[in-house]
Amino acid sequence: MSFSRLPRSPLAALVAVALVLPVMASAHEGHKNNMSDAEMAQMEMRDAHPVADVAAATADGPPIAEGERAVEAVSQPPTAEQALDAKIAENRVTSVGDFLGRLHPLAAHFPVALLLMAALAEILLLMRPALGLETTVRFLVAGGAVGAGIAALLGWFAGGWRLDDRSETLGLHRWNGTAIAAVAGIAAWLAFRSAGRTRLRIALALLAAGILFQGYLGGEMVFGPNHLGLE
């Protein structure tokens, strides 16, 4: 790949960030404010099409004077740099809880990798007992359980401390993540027992299925309904 093909100005990157960040931030704020999925979709459409909203508002309101039309016509939209600066200012941390909630996506990746690798190692152990992967499975499950507990706690900070959510997607994501942390703790306890491994394998299978479903729900929360285009 030739470096001459890379953009010489950060303008393209700034534009991409300015377009993507509002969608992710609006989804986060919508869930934080306990909005329903329909309300968040409407908010994202309004953010994506502000001109249409202005036109609709002026169509229902009083007529605009010619001088005001002239001022509106010559007004220019903000540049990519200005939009990025505005979004950075909007996304400033407001509290310790807000900061902890923002760490949830970062913390969630580690237990996902460890627990899925534990399930894979257990499958290999089932197929080839001579590999002696029992210690490896214990290490992966224990690390994954600790990480899952931390990620679940940070997820509660991110989604707000309540037991019921107006967003069905957030509700499923919240309780599925909490269940993953609980089952991971049980799996870690089973991994260090010398008894048969059947119950551990059942727990790992449940964890693998739950993690895959959790990833789908996370995509729905960030990118919107039907983000895989399956419907």
- Structural domain contains residue 20: yes
Residue 140: the pLDDT is 98
The Cα 188–Cα 36 span in angstroms is: 36
Residue 50: the pLDDT is 54
- Structural domain contains residue 167: yes
* Domain extent for 144: 98-223
Please name the amino acid found at residue 172. Answer: L
Q: If residue 191 lies in a helix (H) or strand (E), which one and from where to where?
A: helix 168-191
How far CA 1 is from CA of 4, 5, 9, 55, in Å, comes to: 9, 8, 18, 46
CATH code of the domain in which 158 resides: 1.20.120
Q: Which of 92, 122, 145 is the last residue of a domain?
A: 92
User: Are both 66 and 88 inside the same structural domain?
Assistant: yes
Q: Are 87 and 18 in contact (CB under 8 A)?
A: yes
User: Are both 108 and 210 inside the same structural domain?
Assistant: yes
Q: Which of 70, 92, 114 is the last residue of a domain?
A: 92
Q: In the numeric block, which tokens belong to residue 211? A: 């993690």
User: Are both 50 and 131 inside the same structural domain?
Assistant: no
User: Are both 145 and 121 inside the same structural domain?
Assistant: yes
User: Are both 184 and 72 inside the same structural domain?
Assistant: no
Domain count, the chain: 2
Q: Which of 59, 75, 92 is the last residue of a domain?
A: 92
User: Are both 74 and 104 inside the same structural domain?
Assistant: no
- Structural domain contains residue 1: no
User: Are both 124 and 72 inside the same structural domain?
Assistant: no
User: Are both 56 and 161 inside the same structural domain?
Assistant: no
pLDDT tens across the length of the chain (231 residues): 443 443 444 444 333 433 333 444 445 677 877 888 777 777 767 766 554 444 444 455 555 455 555 445 446 788 888 888 888 888 888 899 999 999 999 999 999 999 999 999 999 999 999 999 999 999 999 999 999 999 999 999 999 999 999 999 999 999 999 999 999 999 999 999 877 799 999 999 999 999 999 999 999 988 888 888 887
Q: Is the pTM of this model over 0.85?
A: no
User: Are both 164 and 144 inside the same structural domain?
Assistant: yes
User: Are both 218 and 104 inside the same structural domain?
Assistant: yes
- Structural domain contains residue 204: yes
> Residues of 158-185 as b/e, b for ≥16 C-beta within 10 angstroms?
bbeeeeebbbebbbbbbebbbbbbebbb
Q: Is 151 exposed, middle or buried (0-12, 13-18, 19+ CB in 10 A)?
A: buried
User: Are both 15 and 55 inside the same structural domain?
Assistant: yes
- Structural domain contains residue 2: no
Sign of CA pseudo-dihedral 146, 150, 151, 156: positive
User: Are both 108 and 216 inside the same structural domain?
Assistant: yes
- Structural domain contains residue 34: yes
